[in-house]
Structure formats: structure tokens, C-alpha cells
């Protein structure tokens, strides 16, 4: 089991990677500090769509588990819904 310093370093690295991926998907160079607070404060999971209507991946496994959807299944469901709407 990792010690607290290791766990903290891993959590910080995961946060930086999550932020980088989100910035890449939504096409911004810097996120508002309130953006993370939005996800952290939301009592229920939700999907975020980028401007091209792609799903922004959940920032945590907790979010993915809470929706009872694996990311691949969620994206497949979105593609089906998008094709039906078109």
C-alpha cells in the first residue's frame, strides 16, 4: 500500500493528466479554477460535451462507476443516439 506522500503524488499526477486531456478535448489553454470545483461539488454525475459534441471523459473512476457506464459503452450509446437524431 502506498504511503501518504506517494498517494498524494499519484493523485496530483492524475489531476494534471486529467486537466491536460480535458484542455485538449475542449480546445482551451487554461481551465478556470472553478471548473474542478464544479465536478467536485456536484452531488450527481453528469456528462460534459465538448463543442464538437464529443463526450469529455469522466475525471474519475467514481464518476464512471456512478453512472453504471464504462466509458466505451457511454460513447457507443452517444454515437447511436447521434445517428438516430440525424
- Domain region containing 52: 4-85
**pLDDT at position 23:** 73
**pLDDT at position 17:** 84
Q: How many domains, in total, are found in the chain?
A: 1
In order, the DSSP letters of 22-63 are HHHHHT-SS--HHHHHHHHH-SS---EE-TTSPEEPPSSHHH
**pLDDT at position 79:** 66
**pLDDT at position 51:** 72
Distance CA(15)–CA(27), nearest Å, equals: 18
**pLDDT at position 66:** 55
**pLDDT at position 19:** 77
Q: Which residues in the chain land under pLDDT 50? A: none
Q: Are 26 and 52 in contact (CB under 8 A)?
A: no
Amino acid at each position: 500500500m502506498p504511503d501518504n506522500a506517494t498517494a498524494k503524488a499519484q493523485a496530483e499526477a492524475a489531476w494534471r493528466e486529467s486537466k491536460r486531456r480535458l484542455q485538449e478535448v475542449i480546445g482551451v489553454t487554461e481551465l478556470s479554477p472553478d471548473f474542478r470545483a464544479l465536478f467536485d461539488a456536484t452531488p450527481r454525475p453528469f456528462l460534459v460535451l465538448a463543442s464538437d459534441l464529443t463526450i469529455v471523459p469522466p475525471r474519475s473512476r467514481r464518476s464512471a462507476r456512478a453512472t453504471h457506464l464504462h466509458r466505451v459503452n457511454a460513447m457507443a450509446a452517444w454515437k447511436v443516439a447521434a445517428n438516430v437524431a440525424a
